Chain A
Amino acid sequence: MKRRMTRQQKTTIVYGILSVVLILVVLQLWLLTATMNAYLGGDESIIWPAAAASLVCFGLNAGLLRYLYIMERP
């Protein structure tokens, strides 16, 4: 039987997810600025690896958000 979480437990989980998502988004921001700088400087070598890394970060974020939706399901 699925145990229903209290609101306090859910809030703690949301705080945890928010912290991880925030770190990943800051990492993505850094990736974007570094890639833009490299692109404008004519350096093409990091463009696609950085895009792949950013996609992975987004995948993790989307997964965490999905967990949030699952948690809210009655």
Chain B
Amino acid sequence: MSEPDREQVYAAPDGKPQSEQPRWRKDFPIDWPEDNYVARRDFTKFLVLTSLAFTAGQFWIGFQNILRKRRGEPPLRFIADAETIPVGGAVTFNYPDEHDKCVLVRLDEATFAAFSQECTHLSCSVVPDPERDCFRCPCHEGLFEMATGRPVAGPPRRPLARVRIEFKQGGVYASGIQERTS
């Protein structure tokens, strides 16, 4: 003799007895306990898939890092003659590739600084604002200190990538890129 099935086959989500349920729910009964179980189980499966995607993302970053290291340091490139840039003036240039916009600023008679123009928030081009002594991102009003490239206002959290500069026979040369977290 088989045991009767003690599983609750139908239980309305509001917990009220069958007689108090609205007509539409009586006409279209759903096995809610089973529905709950299947929904949670499938959500768990989806989360495990998401977990796999995050793991793949981590390894993708690792491989991108290997590729970046293989590319090595970019070559030395002439930017401008130091004499042609007035104090407070700026010169834009592309480094290391033609799509990577950078800016060289003259802070005083003897001090120059060069940074990538790519905002560390969402990659808009920052522009020098000599009156406020900073670089300004027009997209979300991010501000970066002109001397150091550190973020001082707005959404960016990382400083601008610094372009290393060298001086040779009166000329200013770019010799590398330094990404920074703080």
A interface residues, Cβ below 8 angstroms from B: 6-8, 10-11, 14-15, 17-18, 21-22, 24-25, 28-29, 31-32, 35-44, 47-48, 50-51, 54-55, 57-58, 61-62, 64-65, 68
Contact A48 B44 (CB under 8 A): no
- How many contacting A-B pairs (Cβ < 8 A)? 108
Question: Once bound together, how far apart are the Cα atoms of A26 and B47, in whole Å?
Answer: 10
Could you tell me the distance between the alpha carbons of A50 and B44 in the complex, rounded to whole angstroms? 23
Whether B48 sits at the interface, judged by CB under 8 Å, is yes
Q: A40 contacts which of B34, B50, B51, B179 (Cβ < 8 Å)?
A: B179
DSSP majority for the A interface? helix
- List chain B residues, Cβ under 8 A from A14: 37, 40-41, 44
Count class of interface residues, chain B: 35 or more
Chain B residue, CB-CB nearest to A48: B62
Is B181 touching A65 in the complex (CB atoms < 8 A)? no
With contacts A18-B40, A40-B158, A61-B47 taken as known, whether A31 is within 8 angstroms of B7 at the C-beta atoms is no
Q: Which of A35, A41, A65 contacts B158 (CB 8 A)?
A: A41
- B7 CB contacts on chain A under 8 angstroms: 6-7
Using Cβ atoms and an 8 Å threshold, which residues of chain A touch B64?
39
